[in-house]
Amino acid sequence: MSNSTLNAPLRDGGAQHHSVIIVGGGQAGLSMSYYLQQYGIDHLVIEKHAVTHTWRSQRWDAFCLVTPNWQCALPGHPYSGTDPHGFMKRDEIIAYLDAFIAKVQPPVLEHTEVTRVGQREEGGYLVSTSRGDFTADQVVIASGGYHAPIVPRMAERLPNDVLQVHSADYRNPQSLPDGGVLVVGSGQSGAQIAEDLHLAGRKVTLAVGEAPRCARFYRGRDVVDWLADMGYYDMPVEEHPLREGVRDNTNHYVTGRDGGRDIDLRKFALEGMELYGVLQDYQDGQLRFAADLQSNLDSADATYNRINESIDRYIAKAGIDAPAAAAYEPVWQPSAERSTLDLAQSGIRTILWCIGFRPDFSWLDIPVFNGRGYPGHVRGVTKFDGLYFLGLPWLHTWGSGRFSGVARDAEHLATRIYASAKADALAA
Residues spanned by CATH 3.50.50.60 within the chain? 10-147+359-427, 149-353
The yes-or-no verdict on residue 216 having pLDDT over 70 is yes
Residue 412's closest CA among 424, 402, 422, 400? 400
Average pLDDT value for residue range 265-274: 98
Fold annotation for 149-353: FAD/NAD(P)-binding domain (3.50.50)
Query: Which residues pair with residue 89 across a beta bridge?
Result: 64
Average pLDDT value for residue range 178-206: 97
Q: Which of 18-22, 83-87, 235-239, 353-357 has the lowest mean pLDDT?
A: 235-239
Instruction: Determine the pLDDT at residue 427.
Output: 79
Average pLDDT value for residue range 198-205: 98
Average pLDDT value for residue range 44-71: 96
Instruction: Determine the pLDDT at residue 13.
Output: 55
Fold annotation for 10-147+359-427: FAD/NAD(P)-binding domain (3.50.50)
Q: What separation in angstroms does the CA of 337 have from each of 101, 190, 271, 274, 323? A: 50, 21, 19, 12, 38
Residue 201 exposed, middle or buried by CB count within 10 Å (0-12, 13-18, 19+): exposed
The yes-or-no verdict on residue 170 having pLDDT over 90 is yes
Average pLDDT value for residue range 362-371: 92
Query: Which residues pair with residue 350 across a beta bridge?
Result: 163, 181
Between residues 377 and 7, which one has the greater pLDDT? 377
**Sorting pLDDT into bands at 50, 70 and 90, what band is 422?**
confident
Question: Which amino acid is located at 264 in the chain?
Answer: D
Q: How far apart are CA 252 and CA 305, in angstroms?
A: 13
Q: How many CB atoms lie under 10 A from the CB of residue 329?
A: 7
The yes-or-no verdict on residue 327 having pLDDT over 80 is yes
The average confidence (pLDDT) of the chain is: 93
Q: How far apart are CA 255 and CA 374, in angstroms?
A: 29
